């Protein structure tokens, strides 16, 4: 599997929507974490959004994960970026 960085940029209603959608978002991420596919995940503490490092078979697989996230479908994220990633550290 390859690694991908997913950056969800918060939209204007994120502060209101995030607490409502958080339980469903966490369930979505936990399903992949249980498979060992989540390498790192959490909110950006400046309020810009969230970051997830995901192990996926392809960019399409990473995009499907991101597009199914309740934060994406529910309006927390205004946009989502996906980038291939090569982990160098920790070794």
* CATH number (domain holding residue 55): 3.30.70.1060
**pTM tops 0.85, yes or no:** yes
Q: Is the dihedral of CA 91, 59, 54, 77 positive or negative?
A: positive
Instruction: Tell me phi and psi for residue 40, to 5 degrees.
Output: -165, 140
With respect to residue 75, please indicate whether it lies within any of the assigned structural domains: yes
Mean pLDDT score across all residues of the chain: 97
With respect to residue 30, please indicate whether it lies within any of the assigned structural domains: yes
Its domain, for residue 24, covers: 2-85
With respect to residue 67, please indicate whether it lies within any of the assigned structural domains: yes
pLDDT tens digits, one per residue of 55-89 = 999 999 999 999 999 999 999 999 999 999 999 99
65, 4 contact by CB (below 8 A):
no
Pick from 54, 47, 39: nearest CA to 78: 47
With respect to residue 91, please indicate whether it lies within any of the assigned structural domains: no
């Amino acid at each position: 599997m390859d690694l991908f960085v997913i950056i969800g940029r918060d939209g204007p209603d994120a502060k209101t929507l995030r607490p409502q959608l958080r339980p469903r978002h966490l369930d979505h991420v936990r399903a992949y974490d249980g498979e060992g596919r989540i390498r790192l995940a959490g909110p950006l503490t400046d309020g810009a959004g969230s970051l997830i490092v995901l192990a996926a078979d392809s960019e399409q697989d990473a995009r499907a994960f991101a597009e199914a996230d309740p934060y994406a479908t529910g309006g927390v994220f205004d946009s989502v970026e996906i980038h291939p990633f090569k982990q160098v550290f920790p070794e």
